[in-house]
Every structure is written in structure tokens, then in C-alpha cells.
Amino acid sequence: MPEYCKVEKDGRILTVSLDRPDLLNALHPLANLELGKVFDEFADDPELWVAIITGEGRGFCAGNDLKFQASGGMQGVEVPVRGFGGLTARYDCDKPVIAAVNGVAMGGGFEIALACDLIIASEAATFALPEPRVGLAALAGGVHRLPRQIGLKHAMGMMLTGRRVSAREGFDLGFVNEVVAPEELMPTARRWA
């Protein structure tokens, strides 16, 4: 049984819910390794055709668990070869993955969503790449994917300032496919699936 996520199979659809709600689903090395394995199994299972990734509680994913990292936990453990959340460096999966963004999608959390094929967002969702505010860059794919999805000038405005973007603005910019009321998020993601 996974420890840092919940996994549910419903016919041909796999739903993965990040399960660290007290930390807005921020991920640490063990969670990344676990998600890498979950998505490896999804990619290898011919009975599963589509995956939906979402978060428990009020956050999709707040990105890297910086407190865990600062504590020195798991020194030397690298992000899995498939990237942050098991998705940001997964280039060979021929099955669609849908991000159902229910709240905060910051840093690596936004990069997970950008790595997905579709983004369905709750009206409560917020997106940002705040790495510059702590002297970092969005190197789990954000600096490459965001400009390709919304154009260089809009992306640079977000990436250089760490500016937060609402779900509606994300739709207007073009990286969100549909914005829905919070209670409609999962039914809408399943409809797309």
C-alpha cells in the first residue's frame, strides 16, 4: 500500500491522490520514489488507459518539501529518474495523464501539472513557480514547459517574479483546459478521461 498517495482503479482510469494534506501535499524524496513506482505500474498496465492526479485536502501540491530538505533528511537520495512526482521527466508514457488541480499548485506541484496532458482546475486553484523567491529555478520542467504552453513573455513574467495565477487566468493564458466549481472537479476530470 502506498504511504504518500492514495491509488484507486475504476475501470480503465487510475486516480492518484497525493496524500500529505497537512503539508499541502509537498513532496519529499520518499514520496517522489513512491509516485515514480505508481506511474511505472500505470504505464505498464494495459488495462489502464488514463490517469488522473490530484491532491488530498486543500492543496494539489505545494512542490518540494523544503522543511524536510532543510532538516537534512534522506541526504543523497535523488529525485527518481522519472522526475518530480514520478511525472516531470516521464517522456515515454503513451497514455494521457490529467491533473485535477484542487488548490495550491506551486513550484514542483505546478511542474507536475504542466507535465500532464490536460489540466482541469477548481476555481480555488492557484498556480506559481515561486523558486526565484528562494534563490532557485523551476528545473523540473517548468522553465521549458511553461513557455511552450503560454508563450515566452507570459512565462517569463511568471517565472522571474514568482507571481501567482488564478485558475481563470491560467485558462485565459492557455495552460488550463477547464475551470470548474470545487465540487465539480473530479466529475469533470473523469468526464475528460
Asked if residue 115 has pLDDT above 70, the reply is yes
Q: Indicate if the pLDDT at residue 74 is higher than 70.
A: no
What value does the mean pLDDT take over residues 4-26? 97
pLDDT at 97 over 90: yes
pLDDT digits (tens, 9 = 90+) for 27-53: 998 999 999 999 999 999 999 999 999
> Within its chain, how far is the Cα of 132 from the centroid?
19
pLDDT of residue 77: 64
Average pLDDT score over the chain: 93
What are the domain boundaries of the chain?
A: 5-192
Q: Which residues have CB under 8 Å from 165's CB, separation 6+?
A: 126, 127, 128, 158, 173
Among 74-83, 129-138, 163-172, which stretch is predicted with the lowest mean pLDDT? 74-83
Place of cell 496524500: 19
pLDDT greater than 80 at residue 105: yes
- Does residue 100 register a pLDDT over 70? yes
CB 100 within 8 A of CB 81: no
Q: What whole-number percentage of the chain has pLDDT above 70? A: 96
Lowest-pLDDT range of 10-14, 28-32, 64-68, 121-125: 64-68
CATH superfamily of 5-192: 2-enoyl-CoA Hydratase; Chain A, domain 1 (3.90.226.10)
Opening angle at CA 165, ends 130 and 32, nearest 5: 50
Residue 136, pLDDT score: 82
Are 45 and 10 in contact, with CB atoms under 8 Å apart? no
Better-predicted residue by pLDDT, 140 or 18: 18
Which positions are catalytic?
111, 131
Measured CA to CA, the distance from residue 159 to residue 162 in angstroms comes to 6
Hey, what amino acid is at 63? G
